[in-house]
Amino acid sequence: MLCKIGFGAIKFRNIMDNKKTRKTIRTFALASFLNDLGSDMIYPIWPLFVVSVLGAPMVVLGFIDGLGEAIVSISQAASGYISDRIGKRKVFIWTGYLLGSLSRIGYAISSIWQHLIPFRILDRAGKIRGAPRDAIIADISTKENRGKNFGFLRAMDHLGAVCGIIICILFFRLLGYRNLFFLAAIPSTVAAFLVFYLIKEKKPVDVGIDERLFLKDLNRNFKLFLLLSSFFALGSFSYSFLLIYAKEFGFQIAFVPVLYLIFTAVASVLSLPFGKLSDKIGRKSVLMLSYILWGLVCLSFILIQSYLTIVLTFVLYGLHRGALEPVQKTFVSELSPVKYRASSLGGFQMVIGLCALPASLIAGMLWDKISIFMPFYFSLSLTILSIIMLIFVKER
């Protein structure tokens, strides 16, 4: 009798834990949907606003985009480390969404490209939410569903982006750049309040750890994956270059957001299937596929120039993003020490982001000084190197 009562209590507790897990995942997914809804109202027209409206050259566009990614990296590393130290996650998440909202208001009131820099920093500093949120998801997931959960979150990111792009396409001519930026600030504010009120934070076991995360605490596979991901990131310039390439080739400005919509929609549809696939066949195989897809994107822009090919290449780019983003985070969370999970995720994003600053800057210089094809040659070389190195990384 006592055994039955004990098993019943355990079963009831497991059911309640599963409900809390699902609620947490869904709340984060909805918040991500709303934030990307706001972000992607402006991202399709962002490079056009910087270059055409504010008159910045391509190297400046590359610098601003690269600077943004570098700030992302630093903010995620800092928030991941502090989150592990103080044992709190939620405050970084809702604050990050608010910072993103404020930055879009700043974009709307900018009159010269130099004004964009502080607001771009504010925007990307909002990514302090990333590592703590990912750590929560990794902690409440199991090896059997971790890829699926990260894939679901990324799918909702991209779905929000798709809806944001559609709003951009439908209302851009009516609202113009600046009013659209103001409108884009609203969804992220709602996302911040959702996280603030609906997420109930559970104090982690390893709260206030005294030890710092050192390189020696990471195993060989983590270090090798970090190194090859750095090489890959150094060649993975901003999507802005793909959109400007399409505009230079002859696509009308009004059609450029449609190209952005194409790759975002593909990534949205396939992020969850790729996450589930990684649960079945392993993270490394899906990551290898994502690198190959990016290599095909570069080859397509180099070798074949036609309107249809460019459209199909944006489909390939969406496949690459759908495979890379959820699986990369899942892989890092599993290669890292459990008690340093947020620090490891944040540190990984810091290194990748710091590589993104010279990546877009180098791409802009190669574009301006040599030819529009040189960034693709450079990226293709580093992609091949990354693929070779990934072969030697062992999964747990």
144 burial type by CB count under 10 A (0-12 exposed, 13-18 middle, 19+ buried):
exposed
pLDDT score, position 16: 47
Instruction: Please report which confidence band the pLDDT of residue 62 belongs to, taking 50, 70 and 90 as the band edges.
Output: confident
Query: Which residues touch 234 (CB under 8 Å, ≥6 apart)?
Result: 355, 358, 359, 362, 382
Q: Map the chain to HEC letters.
A: CHHHHHHHHHHHHHHHHHHHHHHHHHHHHHHHHHHHHHHHHHCCCHHHHHHHHCCCCHHHHHHHHHHHHHHHHHHHHHHHHHHHHHCCCHHHHHHHHHHHHHHHHHHHCCCCHHHHHHHHHHHHHHHHHHHHHHHHHHHHCCCCCHHHHHHHHHHHHHHHHHHHHHHHHHHHHHHHHHHHHHHHHHHHHHHHHHHHHHCCCCCCCCCCCCCCCCHHHCCHHHHHHHHHHHHHHHHCCCHHHHHHHHHHHCCCHHHHHHHHHHHHHHHHHHHHHHHHHHHHHCHHHHHHHHHHHHHHHHHHHHHCCCHHHHHHHHHHHHHHHHHHHHHHHHHHHHHCCHHHHHHHHHHHHHHHHHHHHHHHHHHHHHHHHCCCCHHHHHHHHHHHHHHHHHCCCCCC
Residue 376 and residue 384 in contact, taking contact as beta carbons nearer than 8 Å = no
Is the pLDDT at 12 greater than 50? The verdict is: no
125-163 pLDDT, tens per residue? 878 887 788 878 877 887 777 777 877 887 788 788 888
Is the pLDDT at 329 greater than 60? The verdict is: yes
pTM of this structure:
0.67
163-217 pLDDT, tens per residue? 888 898 888 888 888 888 899 899 999 999 998 888 877 665 444 444 455 555 5
Instruction: Please report which confidence band the pLDDT of residue 93 belongs to, taking 50, 70 and 90 as the band edges.
Output: confident
CA distance 217 to 347: 13
CA distance 108 to 197: 29
Q: How many residues does the chain have?
A: 396
221-246 pLDDT, tens per residue? 888 888 898 899 888 877 777 888 88
262 vs 253 pLDDT, higher one? 262
Residue 350 and residue 77 in contact, taking contact as beta carbons nearer than 8 Å = yes
CA 337 to chain centre: 22
pLDDT score, position 10: 45
333 vs 202 pLDDT, higher one? 333
pLDDT score, position 7: 45
CA distance 43 to 46: 5
